[in-house]
C-alpha cells in the first residue's frame, strides 16, 4: 500500500488524517496542475506489460461529491459566537478550583478537541500544579494520581513512575482493593500508555488494569460500560483527536457535572473545524493521482509532475532563503524506490528476510518517512536546512511513526496482500524466522506496537530543530495508522468503519441547540 496511501483516494490518506489532527496546521497547498497517470496496461517500446492489480474497490469519495461538500459554519455570525464562547471557557480554565477539578477540566477540554485554543492556559495550569507543595490531594487517590501523571507526561513533563508505588501491596502487586475502583482503573489504564522503556511498574499497570477492566463485575451504569468499552477498544493516547472529539462530545453531554458552555463551544468549534477540512479536502481532490498505483513504469511522469508541484511549494515557502529543495526531495523519493526495489527482488528470488531485516527496509518502503518529509514543508513556517539534514537521518520519532504505520498496516492487510501476490510482511517474516504460529506471530507484532510507542514517548521528550506542528505529525501519523488498520484494511477497503468515521468527521456537522 506504500505509495498509494500517500496520494491516492485522497480522503483515506493517512497523511491527510494526520494533518486533520491539528486545526492550526497551515492550509494545505493546492497545486495548480492536476496530475494524471496512465492505466495499468502500459506500453513501453511496443512491449505490453500487464501488472498485478491490487483489486481495490473504487473509492466512495468521488470528485464531485467532495467538491459538493459545504457547511454553514463558515459564516461570520458563528465566528463571533465562537469568539465570545472561547473567552468564557478561558475564564473557566483560569478559574480557582481544587487541583483535581482543574485536571478533569483540562482533560475534558483536550478530549473535546479544544486543546489548540487554550495551549497557554493549560500549560500555565499544569505548571502551577507541578509547583504545588502539597500533594495530599492525589497521593492516595488512584484516579487523581494517574490523571496527573498522564496529563503532565502528555505535556512533555517527565513525572516519575514511582508515583504509583503506593498503590502496591507488600507482595509488590497492585492492591486487590483497586479492582473495585473503576474510575481509578480507567485512569491508570490510560496513563499506562505513556510509559517509557524499562518502566516495569507502568507495564504492570497496563496488564493489571486491562485484565480488571475486562472483568468488572457488579452493576455499572451504561455510561461507565460505554467508557470502559471505548478505552479497551483503543487507549486515548493512540486515538485521533478529531475522531475522539466527536465521540467525547456525546459522552460529555451526559456527564452530571459537565459545563454547558464548554459543551456548546466544543460543538460549534467541531463544526467550524469541519468546514475548514471540507475546503482542504476539496483542494486535495484536485491531486488526481489515482494512477500512482500503476508505478513504476510511468513513475517519471508522475514524479516530474510532483517535483513541479513541490517546486511551487518551494517557491512559496522558501522564497528568499536561497536553497533548493529538489535534491532533498529526490533523495527522499529515491530512498523509497530503493526500498521497494529491494522488496521486489526478495519476492522474485524467493528470499525470506528475517523480521529485523524486513523492518529495516519496510519502515522506508511504506512511504512514511517520505510523507513526513513532505509534511515538514506544510507544517513549518521557518524551514531550515539543519532540520532537513536531521529528517534525512530518520530520527527516532520518525522511525517510530513509520514503524507504527508499517506494523499496523501489516497486521491489518497482509492476508489480502499475500493472497493477491505480494512480498512477505512482518507477521510472515517472523513466522518463517522462528517457526511460530500465525497467532503467536501476531501477538509478537502487536507487542512491538506497544514497544514502539514507548520509544516514541521517550522521543517526544527530546529536543529537535523542529516546531511543534511537525513534531506532533509524527505520533499523529502513528495514530492515523492505528485508526485505519484496527479492523483490517480500512484504507484499501474503506467501506465500513473508516467510512462512518470520515462521514462524521467531514460531512455531518453536530446539531446545535
Pick 322 or 435: Cβ nearer ligand NAG: 435
Are 185 and 225 within 8 A, CB to CB? no
Q: Which is nearer to ligand NAG, 176 or 349 (CB)?
A: 349
- Determine, following the binding rule CB under 6 A, whether residue 497 of this chain makes contact with ligand NAG: yes
Give yes or no for residue 415 binding ligand NAG (CB under 6 A): no
Q: Which among 50-58, 187-195, 205-213, 487-495 is the span making contact with ligand NAG, rule CB under 6 A?
A: 487-495
CB atoms within 10 A of CB 219: 6
Nearer to ligand NAG, 488 or 509 (CB): 488
From the list 23, 504, 502, 66, the residue with the least C-alpha distance to 284 is 66
Closest CB 251 distance from ligand NAG, rounded Å: 19
- Rounded to an integer, what distance in angstroms lies between the CA atom of residue 497 and that of residue 486? 9
Nearer to ligand NAG, 102 or 246 (CB): 246
Could you say whether residue 70 binds ligand NAG (CB under 6 A)?
no
Comparing CB distances to ligand NAG, the nearer of 28 and 498 is 498
Question: Shortest approach of ligand NAG to residue 436 CB, angstroms?
Answer: 8
**Dihedrals phi, psi of 236, to nearest 5 degrees:** -55, -40
Does 499 participate in binding ligand NAG (rule CB under 6 A)? no
Find the binding residues for ligand NAG in span 374-413 (CB under 6 A).
Answer: none
Contact by Cβ (8 Å): 385, 328: no
- Of 67, 432, 455, 504, the one binding ligand NAG (CB under 6 A) is 432
Tell me: does residue 354 bind ligand NAG (CB under 6 A).
Answer: no
Cα(147)–Cα(305) distance, integer angstroms: 49
Asked if residue 496 binds ligand NAG (CB under 6 A), the reply is yes
487 binds ligand NAG (CB under 6 A): yes
Of 111-119, 256-264, 370-378, 493-501, the segment contacting ligand NAG by CB under 6 A is 493-501
- If binding is defined by CB under 6 A, does position 57 make contact with ligand NAG? no
User: Closest approach of Cβ 493 to ligand NAG, in Å?
Assistant: 6
> C-alpha grid cell for residue 129?
500544579
Distance CA 266, CA 85 (A): 10
**Closest to ligand NAG by CB, 183 or 352:** 352
| Cα–Cα distance, 35 to 14 (Å, whole number) | 20
Whichever of 63 and 487 has its CB closer to ligand NAG, that residue is 487
Residue 230 interacts with ligand NAG (CB under 6 A): yes or no: no
- Residue 50 pairs in a beta bridge with 41
- Find the part of the chain contacting ligand NAG (CB under 6 A) among 104-112, 168-176, 300-308, 488-496: 488-496
Instruction: Give the separation between CA 413 and CA 435, rounded to whole angstroms.
Output: 21
Residue span binding ligand NAG (CB under 6 A) among the ranges 22-30, 207-215, 400-408, 491-499: 491-499
Return the number of the residue (403 or 429) whose C-beta is nearest ligand NAG.
Answer: 429
CB 245 within 8 A of CB 111: yes
CB of 497 to ligand NAG, least distance (A): 5
As beta bridge partners, residue 47 has 44
410, 376 contact by CB (below 8 A):
no
222 versus 435: smaller Cβ distance to ligand NAG: 435
Give the binding range for ligand NAG (CB under 6 A) out of 60-68, 191-199, 281-289, 492-500.
492-500
Q: Near ligand NAG by CB under 6 A, which window of 83-91, 306-314, 422-430, 490-498?
A: 490-498
From the CB of 1, what's the least distance to ligand NAG, in Å? 16
With CB under 6 A as the contact rule, which of the stretches 103-111, 419-427, 454-462, 485-493 interacts with ligand NAG? 485-493
Q: For ligand NAG, how many residues bind (rule: CB under 6 A)?
A: 8
The CA distance from 422 to 416, in Å, is 9
C-alpha distances out from residue 66 to 58, 63, 279, 284, 431, Å = 15, 5, 9, 10, 42
Phi, psi of 260 (to 5 degrees): -60, -40
Q: Which is nearer to ligand NAG, 145 or 413 (CB)?
A: 413
Q: Cβ distance 423 to 431 under 8 Å? A: no
Q: Is 450 in the site for ligand NAG (CB under 6 A)?
A: no
CA distance 128 to 108: 18
| Contact between residue 463 and residue 397 where contact means Cβ atoms under 8 Å apart | no
Of 2-10, 180-188, 455-463, 489-497, the window that binds ligand NAG (rule: CB under 6 A) is: 489-497
Whole-number Å distance between alpha carbons of 388 and 321: 14
Tell me the C-alpha to C-alpha distance, in Å, between residue 290 and each of 4, 8, 10, 366, 401.
8, 5, 9, 17, 25
- By beta-carbon proximity to ligand NAG, the closer residue of 55 and 496 is 496
Q: Are 202 and 195 in contact (CB under 8 A)?
A: yes
Distances (CA, A) of 346 to 191, 333, 353, 412, 422: 41, 20, 8, 22, 10
By CB under 6 A, is residue 435 in contact with ligand NAG? yes
Q: Is the Cβ of residue 120 or residue 356 nearer to ligand NAG in the bound state?
A: 356
Interface pick for ligand NAG out of 86, 90, 155, 352 (rule CB under 6 A) = 352
Distance CA 42, CA 28 (A): 32
Asked whether position 137 contacts ligand NAG by CB under 6 A, the answer is no
Distance CA 3, CA 298 (A): 14
Q: Which residues bind ligand NAG (CB under 6 A)?
A: 352, 432, 435, 487-488, 493, 496-497
Amino acid at each position: 500500500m506504500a505509495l498509494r496511501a500517500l496520494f491516492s483516494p485522497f480522503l483515506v490518506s493517512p497523511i491527510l488524517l494526520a494533518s486533520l489532527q491539528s486545526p492550526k496546521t497551515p492550509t494545505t497547498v493546492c497545486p495548480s496542475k492536476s496530475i494524471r497517470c496512465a492505466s495499468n496496461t502500459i506500453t513501453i517500446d511496443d512491449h505490453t506489460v500487464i501488472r498485478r492489480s491490487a483489486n481495490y474497490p473504487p473509492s466512495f469519495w468521488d470528485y464531485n461529491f467532495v467538491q459538493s461538500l459545504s457547511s454553514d459554519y463558515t459564516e461570520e455570525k458563528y465566528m463571533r459566537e465562537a469568539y465570545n464562547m472561547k473567552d468564557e471557557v478561558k475564564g473557566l480554565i483560569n478559574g480557582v478550583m481544587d487541583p483535581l477539578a482543574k485536571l478533569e477540566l483540562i482533560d475534558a477540554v483536550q478530549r473535546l478537541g479544544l486543546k489548540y485554543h487554550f495551549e497557554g492556559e493549560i500549560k500555565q495550569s499544569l505548571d502551577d500544579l507541578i509547583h504545588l507543595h502539597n500533594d495530599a490531594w492525589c497521593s492516595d487517590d488512584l484516579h487523581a494520581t494517574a490523571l496527573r501523571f498522564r496529563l503532565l507526561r502528555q505535556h512533555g513533563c517527565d513525572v516519575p513512575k514511582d508515583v504509583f508505588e503506593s498503590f502496591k501491596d507488600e507482595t509488590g502487586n497492585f492492591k486487590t482493593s483497586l479492582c473495585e475502583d473503576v474510575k481509578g482503573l480507567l485512569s491508570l489504564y490510560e496513563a499506562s500508555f505513556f510509559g517509557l522503556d524499562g518502566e516495569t511498574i507502568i507495564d504492570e499497570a497496563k496488564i493489571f488494569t486491562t485484565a480488571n477492566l475486562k472483568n468488572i463485575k457488579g452493576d455499572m451504569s451504561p455510561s461507565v460500560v460505554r467508557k470502559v468499552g471505548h478505552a479497551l477498544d483503543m487507549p486515548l493516547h493512540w486515538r485521533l483527536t478529531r475522531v475522539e472529539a466527536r465521540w467525547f462530545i456525546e459522552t460529555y453531554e451526559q456527564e452530571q457535572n459537565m459545563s454547558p458552555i464548554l459543551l456548546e463551544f466544543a460543538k460549534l468549534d467541531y463544526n467550524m473545524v469541519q468546514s475548514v477540512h471540507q475546503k482542504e479536502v476539496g483542494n486535495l481532490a484536485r491531486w488526481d493521482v489515482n494512477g500512482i498505483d500503476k508505478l513504476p513504469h510511468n513513475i517519471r511522469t508522475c514524479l516530474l509532475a510532483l517535483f513541479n508541484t513541490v517546486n511551487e511549494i518551494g517557491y512559496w515557502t522558501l522564497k528568499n532563503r536561497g536553497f533548493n529543495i529538489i535534491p532533498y526531495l529526490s533523495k527522499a523519493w529515491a530512498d523509497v524506490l530503493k526500498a521497494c526495489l529491494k522488496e521486489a527482488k526478495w519476492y522474485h528470488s524467493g528470499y525470506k528476510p528475517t523480521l529485523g531485516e524486513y523492518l529495516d527496509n519496510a519502515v522506508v518502503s511504506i512511504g512514511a518517512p517520505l510523507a513526513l518529509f513532505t509534511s515538514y514543508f506544510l507544517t513549518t513556517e521557518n524551514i531550515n536546512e539543519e532540520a532537513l539534514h536531521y529528517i534525512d537521518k530518520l530520527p527516532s520519532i520518525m522511525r517510530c511513526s513509520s514503524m507504527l504505520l508499517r506494523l499496523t498496516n501489516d497486521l491489518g492487510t497482509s492476508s489480502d496482500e499475500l493472497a493477491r501476490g505480494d512480498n512477505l510482511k512482518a507477521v510472515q517474516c517472523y513466522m518463517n524466522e522462528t517457526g511460530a504460529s500465525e497467532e503467536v506471530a501476531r501477538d509478537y507484532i502487536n507487542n512491538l506496537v506497544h514497544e514502539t510507542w514507548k520509544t516514541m514517548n521517550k522521543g517526544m521528550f527530546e529536543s529537535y530543530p523542529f516546531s511543534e506542528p511537525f513534531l506532533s505529525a509524527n505520533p499523529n501519523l502513528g495514530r492515523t495508522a492505528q485508526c485505519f488498520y484496527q479492523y483490517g484494511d480500512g484504507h484499501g477497503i474503506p467501506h465500513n468503519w473508516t467510512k462512518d468515521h470520515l462521514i462524521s468527521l467531514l460531512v455531518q456537522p453536530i446539531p446545535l441547540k
